[in-house]
Amino acid sequence: MYKRQINTTLKNNVVERAQGSCEYCRSQARFATQAFSIEHIIPQSKGGDTSLDNLALACQGCNNHKYNKTEAIDPVTGEIAPLYHPRQHKWSDNFNWNEDFTLIIGITMIGRVTVETLHLNREGLINLRRVLYMANEHPPSNQS
């Protein structure tokens, strides 16, 4: 089966659209210790294609935790819910920041399963968010 490669133009379009932030945890690439990835929102293994609408910018942590998942069990209701889809869902409709902007709070089933499955509040992220907030560099301005 042929899988289309992500060429430089496509990669640049994804990075530009995401404004240099992970589309899941909102980490900023300019402060990352590892390169960000272009990931398939719907994995190729589940029929997802390599098109701009199916690609997202993701930090290594989110990309690794997401792997080929598209849904998970909501920790509140026990029901299966889809993971956050950056092209179909609005971030601010599914997530809020806590009062000191260190934790991402899932406010919908989609938000909760994404926070849990992708571990959006990993210890290293919380620490980085705290330091960046004190330096007026967090949260990023692209909060749609």
For the chain, the structural domain boundaries read: 8-134
Q: Which stretches of 37-132 are assigned E, i.e. beta strand?
A: 37-40, 55-58, 71-73, 80-82, 95-97, 104-106
The phi, psi pair for 58, rounded to 5°, reads -140, 140
Count other C-beta atoms under 10 Å from residue 5's C-beta. Answer: 8
Question: Any bridge partners for residue 58, and if so which?
Answer: 37
CB 63 within 8 A of CB 127: no
What pTM value is reported for the model?
A: 0.94
The pLDDT tens digits along the chain (144 residues) read: 456 789 999 999 999 999 999 999 999 999 999 999 999 999 999 999 999 999 999 999 999 999 999 999 999 999 999 999 999 999 999 999 999 999 999 999 999 999 999 999 999 999 999 999 999 999 987 655
Return the pLDDT at 143.
53
For residue 12, what are its two tokens?
Answer: 């640049």
For residue 40, what are its two tokens?
Answer: 């398939």
Return the pLDDT at 140.
87
